[in-house]
Structure 1
Amino acid sequence: MRLTVVGSYAKALVMTVDRLPEAGETLLGREYRETYGGKGSDMAVQAARLGADVVYVGAVGDDAHGAEFRALMAAEGVDDSRVTVDPTAPTGVGFIVKDTAGRNLIVVDKGANDRLLPEVLDRSADALRGADVVLAQLEIPLGSALHALAAAREAGVTTVLNPAPAVDLRGADLSAVDVLTPNEHEARVALGLSPGDPAPVEELARRLLALGPRSVVVTRGEDGALVADPAGATPVATAAVDVVDSNGAGDSFNAALAVALGEGRDLRDAAAFAGVVAALCCEHWETVPSYRTRAEVEDFLATTRATTKERA
């Protein structure tokens, strides 16, 4: 299947701590390392490892981090011919602090990602209109993401918007979005609610549908996902794994969902497949190093089916 990812890249600067710091607190960390980051980049790599023919549309700076990104795309077999190299902005950078329980804090300077404007995206109209699925997220300007999805939707392409990082989507035109994929926190922010609002996930999904997307998939970590459309809502379970690091699981889920949709699965089955892929990446540290190949995912599914039959 042909997937076009419209998104971001950011060099990830990572450090490990025993616990996450409180506001105003200084902790000593260890194991500093630099790795690949950015939601668009993560999604492109995961989708390529699942067998998709991926085109990446994005922007980087004319610097060492940007060159490293281009090398990553080449190594993963992703078409990076639509990447804009901006000489006036740095490549995006993300600072990531992880604790030994697998939780994390992340701060991102978007850099050149903010230069991915509608007029830049129009240069890649053929990649948007010629895909089976176009997947976008919000480490690029919201208007740019929606512009790309509208161009794709006009050509009959399936569109997926992962509204992360979380933004208020009230007032945004989501009519070009086939599938909106927030987690529970992002769902509340998208609706203008406080993070602690007690509304159940089914209510969040119903209210998100009222904003205009054709369907909604709310991801819920180890609790799986809720798939909703105007006909109703269905919970979807995920795989049980030993979580080492949850960073990048949402990107893994979205990539796998897009791939499954492009292969013709219905939304519920696509979400179930995506849940397994995302769960498997949590068994290892970091994002790109943790992403599994299609063969690894299929082996896990085959083993799970065999175990289930033995127990029956």
Structure 2
Amino acid sequence: MKQEQQGEKPYVVVIGGANIDIGGQAFEPLVLKDSNPGTISMKLGGVGRNIAHNMSLLGLHVCFITAFGEDVYAAKIASSCNELGIDSSPSMHVQHGFTSTYLFIEGKDGDMEAAIADMALYEQITPEFLQTREYLLQEAQVIVVDTNIPENSIAWIAKHCRTPIFVDPVSTTKAMKLQAVLGLIHTLKPNLLEAEILSGVKITDRVTLYQAVDVLLATGLQRVFISMGKQGVMAADHRGCKMLPCIKTTPVGMTGCGDAFMAALVWAYLNELELEESAKAGLAAASLCIEYPETVNPNLNQKHLKERANFTEYSVSTI
């Protein structure tokens, strides 16, 4: 974060991925090993970047730490962050590096047929690099981490930062990076598969779901919000747990809901909302996201979030 901003406004830090997503969709059934007529799009993505974008829309002051390559994609992402009011200046720029890129091909029906994820650049976000940003991390209100960064870097953040840490496991494979530090995390937002991996409990019904929650909280984790797709979310802390259904809406886009949910959890925490109200905020943000064809709904804001969550008597504090 720019030095002149430090001390002026409370801020949150996001550490994680910022990608360029390049996708192609065929007009007709895909023919392998041949050229297929279709459309090609390029969008900004990455779990960390998406969360930062959503938090900025909710009025939070966001500092973003990622790894940029030495290419036009890095300039595009940094420019977008600047336009959104996200400070990406503490990010690292890797000489001769290539900015993280996700390349995918969809068939006529929109189902992904093949993809390549080039995310090796995030290995550069080492504990040694993070030490150079320690003051920034220690003074933040919240640190949000996605597991695209190395396991030893996640461990360094968990063990050295007194700031509350919120984590998105990203995937079942990357979730394993959290196993040793779960007890040092404030809030975890896994899906069912990630919750199974981290708890060691096969979730098949309500009973085993509660068992998984108990195992996760027993590590010392303070809050867990398990996304259950169309079934809603299981929210739990050391005082109890609550299953909440999804908010009914008309789906348009299916990606980015988890990123919006996490952003709303941070917003709710900073506004001192209890467990159930925090989950409602997350579900409201996710429902707004799903109504928009892109990964982030630009119409997300505090007013719309409160209305969707039905916070009729809730007054937002100044963040």
Mapping 1:197-216, distance limit 5 Å: 198=204, 200-216=208-224
Which residue of structure 2 lines up, in the alignment, with residue 109 of structure 1? 118
Q: 2:260, 2:296 within 8 Å by CA — same for their partners in 1?
A: no
1:15 aligned counterpart, secondary structure: strand
1:72 aligned counterpart, secondary structure: helix
Deviation at 1:70, TM superposition (A): 0.5
Which residue of structure 2 lines up, in the alignment, with residue 143 of structure 1? 152
Deviations along 1:36-75, whole A, 9 cap, x unmatched?
0111100110000000010111111111111111001101
Q: 2:283, 2:309 within 8 Å by CA — same for their partners in 1?
A: no
**Cα distance in 1 between the residues matched to 2:28 and 2:220:** 40
Deviation at 1:226, TM superposition (A): 0.7
Q: Once structures 1 and 2 are overlaid, which stretch shifts more, 267-276 or 231-240? A: 231-240
Q: 2:50, 2:295 within 8 Å by CA — same for their partners in 1?
A: yes
Q: Once structures 1 and 2 are overlaid, which stretch shifts more, 96-105 or 9-18? A: 96-105
Q: Which sections of structure 1, spanning at least 5 residues, go unmatched?
A: 306-312
Change in Cα spacing, 1:170 to 1:71, as seen in structure 2 (3 Å) is closer
Q: 1:59, 1:83 within 8 Å by CA — same for their partners in 2?
A: yes
Deviation at 1:237, TM superposition (A): 2.8
Which residue of structure 1 lines up, in the alignment, with residue 127 of structure 2? 118
Which residue of 175, 186, 190 corresponds with 1:178? Answer: 186
Change in Cα spacing, 1:193 to 1:90, as seen in structure 2 (3 Å) is farther
**Cα distance in 2 between the residues matched to 1:104 and 1:253:** 24
Q: 2:70, 2:98 within 8 Å by CA — same for their partners in 1?
A: yes
Using structure 1 for the length normalisation, give the TM-score.
0.84
**Cα distance in 2 between the residues matched to 1:235 and 1:27:** 48
Amino acid at match of 1:215: R
Which residue of structure 2 lines up, in the alignment, with residue 190 of structure 1? 198
**Cα distance in 2 between the residues matched to 1:136 and 1:170:** 11
**Cα RMSD (Å) of the superposition?**
3.1
2:149 aligned counterpart, secondary structure: coil
- The structure whose residues are more often strand, as a share, is 1
Deviation at 1:284, TM superposition (A): 1.5
Mapping 1:35-114, distance limit 5 Å: 35-97=43-105, 107-114=116-123
Q: 1:3, 1:52 within 8 Å by CA — same for their partners in 2?
A: yes
**Cα distance in 1 between the residues matched to 2:43 and 2:286:** 19
**Cα distance in 2 between the residues matched to 1:79 and 1:260:** 21
Aligned length: 298
2:44 aligned counterpart, secondary structure: strand
Which residue of 244, 263, 279 corresponds with 2:271? Answer: 263
- Aligned identity (percent) is 22
Q: Which sections of structure 2, spanning at least 5 residues, go unmatched?
A: 1-9, 313-319
1:161 matches 2:170 = no
Amino acid at match of 1:2: Y
Which of 1 and 2 has higher RCO (CA within 8 Å, sep 6+)? 1
